[in-house]
Amino acid sequence: PRSIWLSRHGESEFNLDGKIGGDADLSARGQMYARKLPDLVLESVGDSRPLTVWTSTLKRTISTARFLPPTYNQLQWKALDELDSGVCDCLTYAEIKEQFPEDFQARDDDKYNYRYRGGESYRDVVIRLEPIIMELERSENILIVTHQAVLRCIYAYFMQKSQTESPWMNVPLHTLIKLTPRAYGTQEERYDAKI
Ligand code: G3H
């Protein structure tokens, strides 16, 4: 049966600072994950078939995928870039709460529909992912290396959750997720890089 592999980028410098968005490089731990990812993937694939790797256009996903075997084709999709946090890009949640208290509250009240000023909501991300999902449905052996909000939406889709539950899916750092759609539902395996 065909599977789909999902991973977030390794920890970034922004993750360390608690900042959202941006286009930061990987932290030292994030680099360790990038180096470990090829073995994690080989372990979960179980044979020598090459995967096709889809990343976003941001440095931290491309960098995370860079040690994968050269036999794996890599493709960058703008549609896989992180949820655009608009005027809140590069801020910490504490800074957002201080500078945009009403927005902070509005997002807390309805995280799925809340759209950052000049940016996106989870709902917007679900919509822009439609072409990606369609392409995924007719492809085989795809590994997606992307961002937390984006992965939550893709994960919710394949786990047959309601789209509105996307913001609460648990997609941790440094974990490879293998999803295998089956007649009775999607089978899930997680590989923790233990970094
Ligand atoms: O801004 C993007 C983050 O990866 C998602 O975090 O939606 O829980 O704030 P959040």
Three-state SS at 164: helix
φ, ψ of residue 31 in degrees (nearest 5): -65, -40
Contact 36, 189 (CB under 8 A): no
Catalytic option among 107, 147, 152, 174: 147
pLDDT at 138 over 60: yes
Percent of the chain surpassing pLDDT 90 = 97
Task: Indicate the helix (H) or strand (E) that contains 4.
Answer: strand 4-8
Percent of the chain surpassing pLDDT 70 = 99
**And the tokens for 18?**
């608690």
Residue 166 has what pLDDT? 98
Q: Is the CB of 167 under 6 A from ligand 1?
A: yes
Residue 149 has what pLDDT? 98
Atom of ligand 1 nearest to the CA of 122: 7
Residue 2 has what pLDDT? 87
Q: Residue 126's pLDDT band (boundaries 50, 70, 90)?
A: very high
- Average pLDDT on 126-133 reads 98
Q: Is 10 annotated as a binding residue?
A: yes
pLDDT at 114 over 80: yes
Q: Is the CB of 83 under 6 A from ligand 1?
A: yes
Residue 139 has what pLDDT? 94
- Average pLDDT on 31-45 reads 97
For 161-184, write each residue's pLDDT tens digit: 999 999 999 999 999 999 999 999
Q: Residue 13's pLDDT band (boundaries 50, 70, 90)?
A: very high
For 41-100, write each residue's pLDDT tens digit: 999 999 889 999 999 999 999 999 999 999 999 999 999 999 999 999 999 999 999 999
φ, ψ of residue 187 in degrees (nearest 5): -85, 140
Contact 134, 43 (CB under 8 A): no
**From CA 3, how far away is CA 184, in angstroms rounded?**
15
Residue nearest to ligand 1 atom 5, measured at CA: 149
Distance 150 CA to ligand 1 centre (A): 9
pLDDT at 1 over 60: no
**From CA 150, how far away is CA 154, in angstroms rounded?**
6
Helices 130-137 and 148-158 cross at an angle (nearest 10°) of: 50
Residue 8, C-beta contacts closer than 8 angstroms, at least 6 positions apart: 145, 146, 147, 148, 151, 171, 172, 173, 174, 175
Q: Is the CB of 125 under 6 A from ligand 1?
A: no
pLDDT at 118 over 70: yes
* Mean of the per-residue pLDDT values of the chain: 97
**Which of 114, 148, 151 for mutating ligand 1's site (highest number of atoms within 8 Å of CB)?**
148
- Average pLDDT on 13-36 reads 98
Residue nearest to ligand 1 atom 7, measured at CA: 149
**Is 15 tagged catalytic?**
yes
